[in-house]
Copies of this chain bind each other. A is one copy, B any other.
Amino acid sequence: MRLTAVFALLLATASARADEGMWTFDNFPTDKVKQRYGFAPDARWLEHVRLASVRLAGGCSGSFVSPQGLVLTNHHCAHGCVEQVSTPRRDLVKNGYYARTPGEELKCPAMEINQLVAITDVTGRMRQATRGLSDARFAEAQRIETAKIERECKTSPAVRCDVVELYHGGAHHLYRYRRFQDVRLVFVPEFATAFFGGDPDNFMFPRWDLDMALVRVYEGGKPLPTDHYFRWSRGGAKDGDLTFVPGNPGRTSRLLTIAELEYERDVTLTERLVRFAEWRGLLTEFSRRSAEHARISNHDLFMVENAFKARKGMFDTLADRRFFAGKVAEEKALRDAIARDPGRKQRYGGAFEAIAQAVERQRTLDPMYRWVKPHPRNPLSPRLFSTLLGQAEALWRSVAERGKPNEQRLKEFRDAALPRLTMALFSEAPIYDELEIRNLGFGLGKLREDLGPDHPFVKAVLGKEAPDELAARVVRGTRLKDVAERRRLWDGGKSAIHGSSDPLIDLARRMDAGARAARQAYEETVESVLRRHGERLAKLRFELYGTKTYPDATFSPRLSYGQVKGYTLRGQQVRSFTDFAGAFARDTGRPPFDLPRSWHLAKGKLNLRTPLNFCTDNDIIGGNSGSPAINREAAIVGLIFDGNLPHLAADYGFVGDTGRAVAVHSEAIMQALRLIYGAERVVKEILGR
């Protein structure tokens, strides 16, 4: 009886959640879309959309919008680049930038763009390699097979191959991308309009942001000719329109077990929240010291505020008793399905228990592991909040790693990953001593806070020094700030690196053994268990619900469908559009509610009724930033840049009633480019006339 109720509930939500799903391009529910919207995207349409969409390897999405490699994305996706090409005398974050001529397009020091050209199912091969293996050996076999497949696929540095684990191990697909590492900045508006309303309005709707950027992909020093690109729509999105959003949703956790979700709520999210909160306080005060302090810390501050607010919404979702009860009911349906069928009991029994035990081990390991774990997207993740230390670690480890056979290396050193690593390592992006010292000092202090001053790793790292003192010494003393020195060490290999007396290399050396051991313990006793039993639960789900479902997000290309649609929140009706007039009405002249001078100068020329932002019920998540919103003709009607507050639940479940994707309207982009920024060159290029 109870089971029926649960199934009825699942069914009810399944129909209520009609626009749910971040679908892989090879399993798109064309029939569902047809049924609901009377339009069936065919294989050609899907292929074109896939090839016209791109992934920004740093964690965003974008789309080709001209035959000459022009890419539309968000300002906040190009923010890092804009800051890196700025100087104390030329603050492009603050002032915006427009390359009036092709020659003025500015190279981004560390931006990589990927275009998905092929998907191959390698599930069978992966299964073959792991058949009958226990937890730790299972994970090792997966690692080795993954490395092999990726290596076979990667025929040149211009090719990127990722074995993507879908459905928590239910399937493995090989994604083959073209890799572009010469990307140049074409246009960004001022930060004040890109992020109008700032942190207070972030994740809110209504909104009035021009969160856009245009960059261009180059190949062989010339703009990339692009066969597949999106055309601009006439008039853009309208209420009720069917909208597709191709992009790269980063991570969702909709298939996690209750044990994993509780751990998210009680440990992972809380830890991140307090850490980001403190870092934010530090950076805020740091930025007050001078205009230059503000400039160099602007990007970190923006990132940390954004990350904080997103996680706060995620935490609140899991702390919502009703939402959590729904998750418990979902799991109960799976547990009951196992319990009442002896065959299933044999195939899937014990999976939930094994995962719960792994989570308990994670509880013990995390206080250290969180400091040394690899970042899923950034091979040189700022170690202890320091970019330099991440580079030093990569250099130190390269000695051991590059000497190993490909599949035995740490993931970030495998052949398939090396181009991304070396790009980050040899990036010309400026590094600011004072900010690095603050960040590293902060990281070292928090490391000590998590582990306690008597922990052997803390003692190995700090010695007798105080965190700030150590940070200042190594950052001031290192030569790694110079790209040439990093290149010299990389090229010099073992003798150069082991022979170096650089204080940062020395710090990386002191951390290495402890960090590797913690990573190994985690991978062998937690990750591998979650993998193996996650795969079992994925198979159970296929058995119960069929394969016409979508996998949790994995920062690989996906396609969602939905419509332009307002909503009702706490009894209040929220319309689906804002306009330019609204932006001027909200302007107080004070940050973050201060429209830039360019807007005020152009005001008289603007059609103030032109839509500025709008919202849709497409199923998106972080990583979809920069995704185009397109119509059935695959023409651009908007540019996704955010979700509203209720949408922050999307990590753990689709909330189609109130959760919304937030986009810049395509007409707003055109009006701004023409009338505010006089960017006729790119307008012509985009419109093809």
> A: which residues have CB within 8 A of B?
197, 199-201, 204, 262, 266-267, 270, 273-275, 277-286, 289, 308, 312, 315, 319, 321, 438, 442, 448-449, 452-453, 464-466, 469, 588-591, 593
The answer to whether B321 touches A200, judged by C-beta atoms less than 8 angstroms apart, is no
By a CB distance below 8 angstroms, the chain B residues around A452 are 200, 204
Q: How far is the CA of A589 from the CA of B588 in the complex (A)?
A: 51
By a CB distance below 8 angstroms, the chain B residues around A200 are 448-449, 452-453
The distance from the CB of A408 to the nearest CB of chain B, in whole angstroms, is: 34
The answer to whether A469 touches B590, judged by C-beta atoms less than 8 angstroms apart, is yes
4 further interface pairs, Cβ-Cβ under 8 Å (given A200-B449, A274-B277, A281-B281)? A274-B274, A283-B285, A453-B593, A469-B590
Q: How far is the CA of A241 from the CA of B275 in the complex (A)?
A: 42
Of all A-B residue pairs in the complex, the 6 with the closest CB atoms, nearest first, are: A281-B281, A266-B319, A281-B282, A285-B285, A278-B281, A277-B277
Give me 19 A-to-B residue pairs in the complex whose CB atoms sit less than 8 angstroms apart, sorted by A's number.
A197-B453, A200-B448, A200-B453, A262-B321, A267-B319, A270-B270, A273-B273, A273-B274, A274-B277, A274-B308, A275-B277, A279-B281, A453-B593, A465-B588, A465-B590, A466-B588, A466-B590, A466-B591, A469-B590
Tell whether A315 pairs with B448 under 8 Å between CB atoms, given A466-B591, A590-B464, A591-B466: no
By a CB distance below 8 angstroms, the chain B residues around A438 are 285
The distance from the CB of A9 to the nearest CB of chain B, in whole angstroms, is: 22
The answer to whether A270 touches B267, judged by C-beta atoms less than 8 angstroms apart, is no
The distance from the CB of A302 to the nearest CB of chain B, in whole angstroms, is: 15
**Out of B274, B312, B469, which one reaches A312, CB within 8 Å?**
B274
> Which residue of chain B lies nearest to A453 when distances are taken between CB atoms in the complex?
B200
Q: Which of A270, A283, A591 has its CB near the most chain B CB atoms (within 10 A)? A: A270
The answer to whether B270 touches A273, judged by C-beta atoms less than 8 angstroms apart, is yes
By a CB distance below 8 angstroms, the chain B residues around A464 are 588-590
The answer to whether A285 touches B274, judged by C-beta atoms less than 8 angstroms apart, is no
> Which residue of chain B lies nearest to A282 when distances are taken between CB atoms in the complex?
B281
Q: How far is the CA of A315 from the CA of B118 in the complex (A)?
A: 48
Q: How far is the CA of A285 from the CA of B273 in the complex (A)?
A: 19
Q: Which of A200, A289, A588 has its CB near the most chain B CB atoms (within 10 A)? A: A200
The distance from the CB of A526 to the nearest CB of chain B, in whole angstroms, is: 18
**Out of B204, B285, B465, which one reaches A286, CB within 8 Å?**
B285
> Which residue of chain B lies nearest to A469 when distances are taken between CB atoms in the complex?
B590
By a CB distance below 8 angstroms, the chain B residues around A204 are 452
**Out of B281, B312, B466, which one reaches A280, CB within 8 Å?**
B281
**Out of B266, B267, B281, B591, which one reaches A285, CB within 8 Å?**
B281
The distance from the CB of A279 to the nearest CB of chain B, in whole angstroms, is: 6
Q: How far is the CA of A590 from the CA of B274 in the complex (A)?
A: 26
By a CB distance below 8 angstroms, the chain B residues around A284 are 281-282
By a CB distance below 8 angstroms, the chain B residues around A286 are 285
Q: How far is the CA of A442 from the CA of B308 in the complex (A)?
A: 16
Q: How far is the CA of A469 from the CA of B448 in the complex (A)?
A: 36
By a CB distance below 8 angstroms, the chain B residues around A289 are 289
Q: How far is the CA of A590 from the CA of B275 in the complex (A)?
A: 24
By a CB distance below 8 angstroms, the chain B residues around A262 are 321
The distance from the CB of A204 to the nearest CB of chain B, in whole angstroms, is: 7
By a CB distance below 8 angstroms, the chain B residues around A273 are 270, 273-274, 277
Q: How far is the CA of A266 from the CA of B197 in the complex (A)?
A: 28
Q: How far is the CA of A537 from the CA of B199 in the complex (A)?
A: 44
The answer to whether B281 touches A277, judged by C-beta atoms less than 8 angstroms apart, is yes
Q: How far is the CA of A270 from the CA of B316 in the complex (A)?
A: 10
Q: How far is the CA of A465 from the CA of B588 in the complex (A)?
A: 8
Q: How far is the CA of A593 from the CA of B469 in the complex (A)?
A: 13
The distance from the CB of A301 to the nearest CB of chain B, in whole angstroms, is: 11
The distance from the CB of A401 to the nearest CB of chain B, in whole angstroms, is: 33
By a CB distance below 8 angstroms, the chain B residues around A589 are 464
By a CB distance below 8 angstroms, the chain B residues around A285 are 281-283, 285-286, 438
Q: How far is the CA of A282 from the CA of B590 in the complex (A)?
A: 22
By a CB distance below 8 angstroms, the chain B residues around A201 are 453
By a CB distance below 8 angstroms, the chain B residues around A312 are 274
